[in-house]
């Protein structure tokens, strides 16, 4: 009998149903909801039984480096897209967002040995063979060299007196580059083994992408960020202050950065990229000096509120799932970007706009006020409301001011 991973999707669904994990309705739902062609989905992951969908929207008002964008975003969190558009609108009133991605960029690969009998001698030999290592790396992935990329620099480091590390910086051009870096690292590891004479521990990409940085900035007249209840200068000063607090307080810094990643991840996902890689890079960069810090910085400069976000953005315009998923092909047309550099700049701009919207809400009316309407709708649906009942339950929830499921269920019961 075929093993689960060897079965067709239909057989896997049958197995799950036979074992009591799926009923007829669940199985029919999984069978019928298939925006990705089955052979593509089956080729992408193991044990594929269906497809998981999330809402996708477009954020408006983005102008980055003078170009206007409609930005596809995929998220399950209410308010993310509205907040991104709101932040972008405020930036737009001030001339838009400026962004600059490091280019050419490089991804880091690590090759590490342990139990090296003469670790200093081995380190010296690796340094002496730098030209040979370059030739080995180029031969391992000639197509990236033809495209203008490949191995850029090498570093040999002894870690903790007992590990020998050969660190490679590789220009992966338009790709995020995980697979090509891994291929090159493994080929180099094998070829240099006689010069090291130790035990290879691993050879793989590092997700600490500190040679693929992007910076987005905006400069805002405080008047343009005023709310009905609070003047713009007070809000601007409080945004500066809450960011300074986040520099000191890790609890706040984590939430500050999560707000940025709300926007970043939503675009990364919509563009078919590896959002875990972007997350890992963001958080390792946030703690680069040994203390976890906010990724963005807000300061008053000549009467303006100036926001800056710098973070790694190892995004790909090719490779991975970018050309496999039909919806990503559509999103590429919506956003009209075919360059990893320009995409990185847009994504950083979205992160900064998202950050502005969250901080502005937080220091003025509080975060819940803005979340209320969408949160109420989500609660109404979770409570079981359908059709016309959804807005009725949502409105009543906002009226009573208690955003919880028990209240939503109570309201729905009385409505019926």
Instruction: Give me the least distance between CB of 344 and ligand NDP, in Å please.
Output: 14
Task: Give CA separation, 112 vs 158, 173, 188, in Å.
Answer: 9, 25, 11
Given the complex with ligand NDP, which of 116 and 205 has the nearer CB atom? 205
Please choose, from the candidates 263, 298, 314, 310, the residue with its C-alpha nearest in 3D space to the C-alpha of residue 83: 263
DSSP 9-35: HHHHHHHHHHTTS--HHHHHHHHH--S
Please choose, from the candidates 257, 329, 253, 258, the residue with its C-alpha nearest in 3D space to the C-alpha of residue 291: 253
Given the complex with ligand NDP, which of 67 and 143 has the nearer CB atom? 143
| Bond into 384 cis (ω within 30) | no
- Choose the catalytic residue: 274, 283, 341, 345: 274
Instruction: Give me the least distance between CB of 371 and ligand NDP, in Å please.
Output: 31
DSSP bridge partners of 217: 98, 308
Given the complex with ligand NDP, which of 178 and 270 has the nearer CB atom? 178
Instruction: Give me the least distance between CB of 103 and ligand NDP, in Å please.
Output: 13
Catalytic annotation on 46?
A: no
Catalytic annotation on 274?
A: yes
* Contact footprint for ligand NDP (CB under 6 A): 143-144, 147, 173-180, 205, 207, 274, 277, 316, 318-321
Instruction: Give me the least distance between CB of 386 and ligand NDP, in Å please.
Output: 38
For the chain, state the CA radius of gyration: 25
Catalytic annotation on 258?
A: yes
DSSP 377-400: HHHHHHTT--TTHHHHHHHHHHHH
3-state secondary structure of 82: helix
Catalytic annotation on 283?
A: no
Given the complex with ligand NDP, which of 183 and 227 has the nearer CB atom? 183
Given the complex with ligand NDP, which of 81 and 175 has the nearer CB atom? 175
Residue 389 and residue 416: Cα distance in Å, rounded? 9
- Choose the catalytic residue: 68, 146, 190, 258: 258
DSSP secondary structure code for residue 77 in this structure = S
DSSP 212-258: SEEEEEEEE-GGGG--SSS-HHHHHHHHHHHHHHHHH-HHHHHHHHH
| CB-CB contact of 113 with 198 (8 Å) | yes
Given the complex with ligand NDP, which of 232 and 320 has the nearer CB atom? 320
Instruction: Give me the least distance between CB of 106 and ligand NDP, in Å please.
Output: 13
Phi–psi pair at 300, nearest 5 degrees: -90, 125
- Choose the catalytic residue: 61, 283, 371, 396: 371
Instruction: Give me the least distance between CB of 151 and ligand NDP, in Å please.
Output: 14
Catalytic residues: 77, 258, 274, 371
């Amino acid at each position: 009998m075929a093993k689960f991973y060897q079965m067709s999707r239909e057989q896997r669904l049958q197995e799950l149903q036979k074992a009591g994990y799926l009923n007829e309705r669940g199985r029919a739902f999984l069978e019928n909801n298939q925006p990705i062609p089955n052979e593509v989905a089956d080729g992408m992951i193991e044990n594929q039984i269906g497809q998981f969908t999330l809402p996708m929207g477009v954020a408006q008002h983005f102008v980055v480096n003078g170009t206007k964008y409609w930005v596809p975003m995929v998220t399950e969190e209410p308010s993310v897209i509205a907040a991104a558009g709101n932040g972008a609108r405020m930036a737009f009133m001030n001339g838009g967002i400026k962004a600059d991605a490091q280019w050419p960029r490089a991804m880091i690969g690590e090759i590490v040995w342990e139990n090296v009998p003469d670790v200093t001698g081995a380190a010296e030999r690796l340094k002496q063979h730098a030209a040979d290592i370059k030739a080995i790396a180029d031969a391992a992935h000639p197509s990236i060299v033809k495209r203008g990329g490949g191995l850029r620099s090498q570093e040999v480091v002894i870690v903790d007196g007992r590990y020998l590390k050969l660190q490679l910086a590789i220009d992966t051009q338009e790709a995020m580059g995980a697979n090509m870096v891994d291929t090159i690292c493994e080929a180099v590891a094998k070829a240099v083994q006689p010069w090291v004479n130790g035990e290879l521990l691993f050879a793989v990409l590092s997700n600490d992408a500190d040679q693929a940085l992007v910076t987005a900035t905006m400069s805002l007249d405080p008047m343009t960020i005023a709310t009905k209840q609070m003047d713009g200068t007070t809000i601007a000063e409080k945004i500066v202050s809450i960011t300074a607090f986040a520099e000191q307080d890790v609890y706040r810094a984590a939430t500050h950065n999560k707000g940025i990643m709300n926007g970043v991840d939503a675009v990364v996902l919509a563009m078919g990229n590896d959002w875990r890689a972007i997350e890992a890079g963001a958080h390792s960069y946030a703690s680069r000096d040994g203390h976890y810090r906010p990724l963005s910085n807000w300061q008053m400069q000549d009467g303006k509120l100036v926001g800056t976000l710098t973070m790694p953005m190892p995004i790909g315009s090719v490779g991975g799932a970018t050309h496999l998923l039909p919806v990503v092909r559509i999103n590429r047309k919506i956003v009209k970007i075919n360059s990893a550099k320009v995409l990185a700049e847009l994504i950083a701009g979205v992160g900064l706009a998202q950050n502005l919207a969250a901080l502005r809400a937080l220091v003025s009316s509080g975060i819940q006020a803005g979340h209320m309407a969408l949160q109420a709708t989500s609660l109404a649906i979770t409570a079981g409301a359908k059709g016309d009942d959804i807005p009725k339950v949502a409105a009543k929830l906002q009226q009573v001011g208690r955003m919880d499921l028990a209240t939503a269920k109570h309201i729905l019961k009385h409505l019926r």
